[in-house]
Amino acid sequence: MKPGKEAFIRYEGNRLIIRSIFNPEYVEELKSKTTTRKWNSEKKEWSVNISEKEKTLDILGRYFKVLEDTNPAENQAFDPQKMAKPGKGFAVQEGDKLEIWTDGACSGNPGGGGYAALLKNNGQVKEIAGGFAHTTNNRMEITAAIAALESLDKPCDITIYSDSKYLVDAVSLGWVKKWQANGWMRTKKDKAVNPDLWQKLLDLCAKHTVRFIWVKGHAANRENKRCDEIAEAITHLPDLPEDKGYRKEMG
């Protein structure tokens, strides 16, 4: 490799973006050894799915000095094999005003599911994600909100943005509390679905001041798009844990 030849990489959702000078040998090897590569003719950049990150970096290293981006957390790579777990670690003070974006995804519905949340507070950014092997999209939408709230150890003033009408309306319009008051019956004949998750969410909301706001999915909302990309990536992971609540509900 000649000195001065550098490749710059960054991450957008579940894509690794590559910018470098043209090298025909590198391009040929990238084409022959990766299956998710895409060429952006407008930006003059290659990209590959994060699942081929190690292979791609190995190829790049044979032709260039690889320099990684050091952008804030929301712009860095999401590696689904190292997904963040719900828990403590996001520094908050009592009464802090937080913004949280959440999303859930499911491949099959029921099928492999993923959820993601992006939290912002006074310049801090935290991503939380996870998934289950056999679940539903609605369960993942609720779980995303639960995971975000579980990561907070002090009562806060929170706005949660979600593209799920199911989640936002059920809480904002009081449906969930009505189902709870009726013994988790939606009507006199029909049971409410996902009572285990709704109960968790209500308990968590009682510790904070929480408002839910609906946002249009797959639109120009940067944070919503980020959560969508993460949740979708997780649905395809192998060896996801079982959603015991869903299995119990289905009998």
Amino acid letter, 231: A
Do 149 and 192 have their domain in common?
A: yes
On whether both 88 and 14 belong to a single domain, the answer is: no
Instruction: Give every strand in the sheet of 6-12, ordered side by side.
Output: 38-40, 45-49, 15-20, 6-12, 65-68
Domain harbouring 167, CATH code:
3.30.420.10
Q: What is the model's pTM?
A: 0.69
Residue 127 lies in a domain: yes
For residues 192 and 138, state if they share a domain: yes
Q: List pLDDT tens digits, range 24-78.
A: 899 999 999 999 999 988 778 899 988 888 899 999 999 988 886 544 344 445 5
pLDDT of residue 82: 54
Residue 2 binned pLDDT confidence (cut-offs 50, 70, 90): very low
151 in Cβ contact with 160 (< 8 Å): no
Instruction: Please report whether residue 124 resides in a domain.
Output: yes
Domain assignment of residue 1, yes or no? no
Contact at 8 Å (CB) between 231 and 116?
yes
Instruction: Based on the fold, state whether residues 119 and 229 are members of the same structural domain.
Output: yes
Same domain? For 99 and 145 the reply is yes
**15 located within any domain:** yes
Among residues 42, 70, 98, the one where a domain terminates is 70
User: Are 54 and 87 in the same domain?
Assistant: no
Give me the DSSP letters along 92-135.
--TT-EEEEEEEEEEETTTEEEEEEEEEEETTEEEEEEEEEEEE
Same domain flag for 154 and 208:
yes
pLDDT in tens, 175-211: 999 999 999 999 999 999 999 999 999 999 999 999 9
One domain for residues 62 and 86: no
Among the three residues 39, 70, 101, which one is the final residue of a domain in this structure? 70
Q: By residue range, what is the domain housing residue 20?
A: 6-70
Catalytic residue positions? Answer: 103-104, 141, 163, 218, 228
Asked whether residue 46 falls in the same domain as residue 108, the answer is no
Percentage of residues of the chain with pLDDT beyond 70: 88
**Domain boundary pick from 21, 39, 70:** 70
C-alpha span between 126 and 11 (Å, rounded) = 16
Q: Is 75 part of any domain?
A: no
Statement to judge: residues 62 and 165 lie in one domain: no
- CATH number, domain at 29? 3.40.1170.30
- Tell me: do 39 and 118 sit in the same domain: no
Q: Shortest CA distance to 161 belongs to which of 237, 119, 101?
A: 101
Number of domains in the chain: 2
178 and 241 together in one domain: yes
pLDDT at position 85 over 60: no
Tell how strand 97-107 and strand 15-20 pair up: unpaired
Q: Rounded to an integer, what distance in angstroms lies between the CA atom of residue 16 and that of residue 180?
A: 45
